[in-house]
Amino acid sequence: MLQPKVIVTPAAEKFIRRMVRFSAQPAGGFRLTVSAGGCSGYNSEFSVEAAPVAGDSELLVNGVKIFLPAESRLMLDGVTIDFADTPTKSGLTFTNPNAAACGCSSSGETASAPAQATVSVASIGRMPAATAGH
């Protein structure tokens, strides 16, 4: 399986490591699903899983397992995954230096900064114990 060239910053690695460590699956991995969304951005969902799902690729970052479905591997190639914690937002951010400028601006200006998207920590929900595989 082709591995994407993904950069995971130390801040993102710390967040992912903590999510796994304090989950019901501390020996598992962080499953990250990314899809296209927004203006040159990404929509993403994540969960902690005991093992990769069929078709997932496992990316190992300093001992932390990240499970990536096929469509996410393609989208994350060349992307930097970071973690932001500011007064207005907290979550993973994705920066793609190769993204095309957004074409939806009515001002006629093109974007000069890389595309970036954020997933909020507030969107994380706990699974009921009955469905968590206990």
CATH of domain 7-121: 2.60.300.12
> Per residue in 39-88, pLDDT tens?
547 788 999 999 999 999 999 999 999 999 998 998 898 999 999 888 88
pLDDT score for 41: 73
Domain ranges of the chain: 7-121
Helix (H) or strand (E) holding 19: helix 10-21
pLDDT confidence of residue 50: 96
Cβ atoms < 10 Å from Cβ of 30: 24
